[in-house]
């Protein structure tokens, strides 16, 4: 009986949290809409918001303006906030570095179209895969990698990171 009561309590709390988050999101949009509305005979308020605030409100970031070129000059790309798949993370001083490079080799051989990078951020060795502008694209590739490598599929997940998106895949707004 206690287990059932605890289960019902958790479910109700989850429902309340989801409802509150939805209301908060719509309330933020309504506030900005109201502030930016122009009524005759009343003052006009213009809201200028920092890019970081725009992301908090759930709007997409404007495309970056800086163009980068890879070492051989063959690909131009933008750096922007996007998604990568973290395929490995370990802090064992004796084995994590070798494990990260071993898994990088396995993933590179099966998925050569996706960039892989081994990072060391003390004390962790990490392996990240891909450059995805959209989370849905990262989720699709994550499923493919998990199918190919079920032995290390549980430790893989999607992370927000700086990504390189080729210019041919991005659209640039002209202001």
Looking up residue 135, the CATH number of its domain turns out to be 3.30.70.1070
Per-residue pLDDT at 169: 54
Which helix (H) or strand (E) segment holds residue 94: the answer is none
| For the chain, the helix, strand and coil percentages under 3-state DSSP, each to the nearest 5 | 45, 25, 35
Residue 49 confidence (pLDDT): 67
What residues in the chain have per-residue pLDDT under 50? 59, 61, 63-64, 170-175
Is 110 in the same domain as 156? yes
- Bridge partners, residue 162, by sequence: 81
Q: What is the pLDDT of residue 64?
A: 43
Please report the pLDDT score of residue 4 as a whole number.
81
Say how many domains are in the chain.
2
Query: What is the extent of the structural domain holding 123?
Result: 68-169
- Which residue intervals of 37-78 are DSSP H helices? 51-56
The CA-based diameter of the chain, rounded to the nearest angstrom, is 72
| One domain, residues 47 and 75 | no
């Amino acid at each position: 009986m206690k287990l059932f009561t605890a289960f019902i309590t958790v479910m109700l709390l989850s429902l309340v949290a989801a409802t509150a988050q939805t209301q908060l999101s719509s309330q933020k949009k309504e506030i900005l809409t109201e502030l930016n509305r122009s009524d005759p005979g009343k003052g006009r308020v213009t809201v200028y918001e920092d890019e970081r605030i725009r992301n908090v409100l759930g709007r997409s970031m404007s495309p970056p303006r800086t163009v980068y070129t890879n070492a051989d000059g063959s690909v131009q790309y933008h750096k922007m906030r996007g998604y990568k798949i973290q395929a490995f993370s370990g802090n064992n001083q004796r084995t994590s570095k070798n494990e990260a490079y071993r898994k990088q080799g396995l993933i590179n051989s099966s998925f050569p179209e996706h960039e892989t990078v081994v990072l060391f951020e003390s004390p962790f060795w990490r392996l990240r895969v891909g450059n995805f502008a959209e989370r849905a694209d990262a989720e699709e590739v994550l499923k493919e990698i998990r199918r190919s490598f079920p032995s290390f599929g549980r430790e893989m997940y999607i992370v927000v990171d700086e990504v390189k998106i080729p210019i041919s895949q991005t659209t640039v707004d002209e202001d």
